[in-house]
Amino acid sequence: MATESEKQNHRPSLLERLSHFLLREPEDREQLVELLHGAYENHLMDGDSLAMIEGVLQVSEMQVRDIMIPRSQMDVIDITDPPETFIPFVIEAAHSRFPVIEDDKNDVIGILLAKDLLRYYAGEDFDVRDMLRPAVFIPESKRLNVLLKEFRSNRNHIAIVVDEYGGVAGMVTIEDVLEQIVGDIEDEYDYDEDEDNIILQAEGKYRVKALTEIADFNETVGTQFSDEEFSTIG
């Protein structure tokens, strides 16, 4: 039997303290979140742990369409372009993986790993088609917890998202899913949201982000493009 001194020196673990606090089994998600917040307020877990658990719960309710990179924002390589044309683009984009298309973004024929382009510089026989990895296609409606499990089991990092008609709607990476759990991860597909969408580069010439609202573009440039069918420039 433990001595009185041993009992006094024993400090319950976080799991033991949580178990004691969560004796009452929650009936639904809302009640579970309420109990978890109670545990946080009673100093049984820190804020990071609470946020991560809430992220896990949130992922189970979200779909791919909620977080995907839209088609207009996808950086792709056209298989019909020669290496000397697309390699500078690959270097500038600084991604590790690129969807490869044939003339149109609706026709994704595979995924190219940037590291495979080293063969081009090594002077080896070079055919991009021989280097392509199979593209994984998923529906917009797939739940994120299911996708994350598939990413891990298949050791895949990127998937092409298709809409209900089979057209390419966008893409999603494993980092996009993990961000919903652990918070923002500054990865290769991030862009500067604080940068101006419309930048005047020279008299009468602008650099415009594809996601710029048509209404904002009209106001800045003085045009009158309709936004009835499309809401953004891209």
What average pLDDT does the segment 78-107 reach? 91
Task: Provide the pLDDT confidence category of residue 228 given band limits of 50, 70 and 90.
Answer: low
Longest Cα–Cα distance in the chain = 86
Q: What is the pTM of this model?
A: 0.62
CATH number attached to the domain at 65-182: 3.10.580.10
Cβ-in-10-Å burial (0-12, 13-18, 19+) of 155 comes to exposed
Radius of gyration, alpha carbons of the chain: 24
Of 55 and 163, more confident = 163
Element (H, E) at 120: helix 118-121
Its CATH architecture, for the domain 193-234, is 2-Layer Sandwich (3.30)
pLDDT category at 92 given cuts 50, 70, 90 is confident
Model confidence over 141-176: pLDDT tens digits? Answer: 999 989 988 998 898 999 999 999 999 999 999 888
Confidence label for 17 from pLDDT (cuts 50, 70 and 90): low
10 has a pLDDT exceeding 80: no
Ranked by mean pLDDT, the top range of 153-157, 177-181, 205-209 is 153-157
Return the closest-CA partner of residue 100 out of 124, 118, 81, 123: 81
Equal fold, 65-182 vs 193-234? no
Q: Partners of 160 in the beta sheet?
A: 137, 171
Q: What is the pLDDT of residue 76?
A: 96
> Number of C-alpha atoms within 13 angstroms, CB side, residue 67?
27
- Domain extents in the chain: 11-62, 65-182, 193-234
Mean pLDDT for 199-204 is: 52
Asked if 158 contacts 170 with a C-beta cutoff of 8 angstroms, the reply is: no
How many other β-carbons are positioned within 10 Å of the β-carbon of residue 173?
23
